[in-house]
């Protein structure tokens, strides 16, 4: 076996390993809006817990940032849900 065919066989084997691991771990499903809202709510609650348990002054700023970012994401997703609800309601009437 020459170097080129050895290299090609090696790359093929490595690609096969990583492709199978990736496809097993990452099913290509898109979360629904209610799932995203719940995940954002959980992130927000987690950020609040971090803030309540932080004692280092440098980490307090970081925890406050986490709370603000998580809250904005949660509020944004709730607005999206309301807009979709309004659109659906208009279509039904």
Question: Both 64 and 93 in a single domain?
Answer: yes
pLDDT digits (tens, 9 = 90+) for 22-34: 555 555 688 899 9
Q: Give the pLDDT of residue 72.
A: 96
Q: What is the pLDDT of residues 5-64, one digit of tens each?
A: 666 777 777 787 777 655 555 556 888 999 999 999 999 999 999 999 998 888 899 999
Domain range for 61: 31-93
Pair (25, 48) in one structural domain: no
Amino acid 63: pLDDT: 92
Does 70 lie in the same domain as 44?
yes
Please tell me the distance from the alpha carbon of residue 7 to that of residue 61, in angstroms, as a whole number.
Answer: 50
- Cβ burial, residue 1 (10 Å; 0-12/13-18/19+): exposed
Asked whether residue 18 falls in the same domain as residue 53, the answer is: no
Dihedral sign for Cα 76, 77, 82, 85, please: positive
Please, are residues 47 and 66 in contact by the beta-carbon 8 Å criterion?
yes
Give yes or no: residues 92 and 57 share one domain.
yes
pLDDT at 2: 63
Tokens of 15: 């690609």
> Which tokens is 20 given?
């199978």
């Amino acid at each position: 076996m020459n170097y080129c065919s050895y290299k090609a066989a090696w790359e093929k084997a490595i690609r096969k390993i990583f492709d199978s691991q990736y496809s097993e771990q990452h099913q290509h499903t898109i979360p629904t809006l209610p799932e995203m809202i719940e995940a954002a709510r959980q992130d927000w609650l987690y950020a609040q817990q971090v803030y309540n348990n932080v004692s280092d002054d440098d980490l307090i700023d970081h925890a406050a940032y986490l709370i603000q970012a998580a809250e904005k994401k949660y509020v944004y997703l709730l607005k999206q849900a309301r807009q979709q609800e309004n659109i659906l309601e208009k279509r039904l009437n």
